[in-house]
Amino acid sequence: MDDLGGLVGLRQRDGGELLHHLFLAAAAALGVLAPPGVTHDVGVDAAGVNVDGGHAGAAQLLAQRISEEENNLTLQTLILNETGRVKAAHGNTDEAYEDYELALEYAQQLKHTGHEADALIHLGQLLTRKKKNSEALASYKGALAIYRSEKDRMNEAIALNEVGEMYRLMQNYDRSLANHVAALEIHQALKEDNGLAQSYNHIGVLYFEEKNFKRAISNLELGLQAGRDAQAHDQIQKSYERGIKAGVSKIILVTQTT
């Protein structure tokens, strides 16, 4: 039963049905459940598998096996995007990259732009880790174009922040700021506090690198408040750490110039 941990948190995506069939099929395959009428027709219109559970790896492999048996390309795309994420989190970047590339290929065959954009974002993140900045930027921009065409505002903001981070790494600070501000404006319109915290933190780091410590601290304080409102502990921690660093740097700068 523990092997089902990664499938317990099935989540809805793009208005698709919950993957009850997948869960039941997996359970039946493990021999822990055999309810009447269960088939291996997993029928995913557009749904994702939440693999944050404790035994996600085993559950994913099982789900992938079922999807391959059913020759369900949509489900295979979803599973590849998720297995890639888990592999990347465990440092298996080469294997993760292969999963994402295959997911991208399948999504393009299916003409499913949402899954295509997901794969592009994931590829961009891996390329960033490999310090292939130009390729990562192109991947993020590809995802951004898709999200904009689909009027997916939340993911548009996420992609804008990714593009902004790439420009920061490439030391193109004007373009970096423009993208982060655009993401911030979307999060403000959506009243999405976690996204606000992320955007303010990105902008704070950008100003810090430009040695504009006053604006850095101001934005990090706004990020801290948004993080508190969202109860986003990781963003709160980032705001504190970066704010302290900016504050110390400001004190040093003042000391050196007086």
* pLDDT tens digits for range 215-237: 988 898 888 888 787 776 666 66
Q: How far is the C-alpha of 153 from the C-alpha of 193, rounded, in Å?
A: 14
CB neighbours of residue 142 within 10 Å: 18
* pLDDT tens digits for range 155-198: 999 999 999 999 999 999 999 999 999 999 999 999 988 889 89
Q: How far is the C-alpha of 62 from the C-alpha of 106, rounded, in Å?
A: 19
Sign of the CA dihedral running 147, 10, 15, 76: positive
Q: Could you give the count of Cα atoms lying within 13 Å of 101 in the half-sphere of its Cβ?
A: 8
Domains and CATH numbers, the chain: 1-71 (no CATH), 171-258 (1.25.40.10)
Q: DSSP label at 11?
A: E
Q: DSSP label at 191?
A: T
Q: What is the pLDDT of residue 184?
A: 96
Place of tokens 């992320």: 198
Residue 224: in which H helix or E strand, if any? helix 213-230
Q: How far is the C-alpha of 189 from the C-alpha of 199, rounded, in Å?
A: 13
Structure tokens at 246: 């900016």
84 within 8 A of 100, measured Cβ to Cβ: yes
pLDDT (tens place) for every residue of the chain, 258 residues total: 333 444 444 433 433 333 444 544 444 444 443 333 433 333 332 223 333 333 445 445 555 665 565 567 877 787 788 778 878 888 888 988 998 999 999 999 999 999 899 999 999 999 999 999 999 999 999 999 999 999 999 999 999 999 999 999 999 999 999 999 999 999 999 998 888 989 999 999 999 889 898 898 889 888 888 878 777 666 666 655 655 555 544 434 434 443
Task: Report how far Cα 210 is from the mean position of its chain's Cα atoms.
Answer: 27
Q: What is the pLDDT of residue 141?
A: 98
The structure's pTM equals 0.70
Place of tokens 């822990």: 32
Q: What is the pLDDT of residue 214?
A: 86
Structure tokens at 153: 């505002």
Q: Could you give the count of Cα atoms lying within 13 Å of 110 in the half-sphere of its Cβ?
A: 21
Cα angle value 51/54/55 (rounded, 5°): 75
Structure tokens at 3: 């092997």
Sign of the CA dihedral running 19, 95, 158, 207: positive
